[in-house]
Structure 1
């Protein structure tokens, strides 16, 4: 397994439009686009910062994982994503090492990435996304 970079930090927000007022207007970090990922019931906005990005996440349905996260914990950091060279090999290696996975096979995420999540119980309470672009 080769982790190449922190791909992004996902932040759960009630409203991307309201959050962009802070990130773009106050902090000067430009959004490169907003995208809805219907399969995950989420709308995303990416804000590049060097080699990584801030990903704002807004739930699009009451049963969206992001909506549920905000109801339980409030707005804030939702996950950290690490980019790898080969997602299938990484998942197989993690599984061999006994790491609990949410996704044993890749799924599609925002920006054309292939992604999979590692269960927070395996990482000390952090939802970890593994990403391949």
Structure 2
């Protein structure tokens, strides 16, 4: 069962400049950064809020590191802006299967590794009213040290 909005992914041309905007404008600080070679992005997770159960909500800023990456192609077509929304779940496998059974296309046969060791999959935007939707299970939701995908 989906439990919360885990993060909102925002595609940008210049990660450092975009991070500085969110820091200067809203006071959001970077919680985690990494480069995901498989996805072809450099990312920064900005923590917005946390809960007593270790969950949190983030903005995920995404800058492509190569021109053939999905985010680079999306930026070329759409420009900067909201790229996807991610819902947190304790069991990405079960929830992906449940939405697949309802006729929604799941883009990966098996979940992949996302930010900070999380397990992620995506749902086809044409089946979700135009919204690229991610399902994410943190690496270790009990300790609050889990991760989030992109």
User: Which bin holds the TM-score, normalised by the shorter protein?
Assistant: over 0.9
**Secondary structure class of the residue paired with 2:46:** strand
Verify the 8 A CA contact 2:2 2:95 in the aligned structure 1: no
Give the alignment's TM-score, normalised by structure 1: 0.96
> What's the counterpart of residue 23 of structure 2?
24
**Residue in 2 aligned with 1:85?**
90
Asked if the contact 1:91–1:105 (Cα under 8 Å) also holds between the matched residues in 2, the reply is: no
In the alignment of these two chains, the number of paired residues is 132
Q: Which has the higher helix share?
A: 1
What is residue 9 of structure 2 aligned with on the other side? 10
In structure 1, the partner of 2:121 is: 116
User: What secondary structure does 1:54 align onto?
Assistant: strand
TM superposition shift of 1:25: 1.9
Mapped partners of 1:71, 1:41: distance in 2: 15
Gaps of 5+ in 1: none
Consecutive unaligned residues in structure 2, runs of 5 or more? 50-55, 139-150
CA-based RMSD of the aligned residues comes to 0.9
Contact kept in structure 2, 1:117 and 1:128, CA below 8 Å: yes
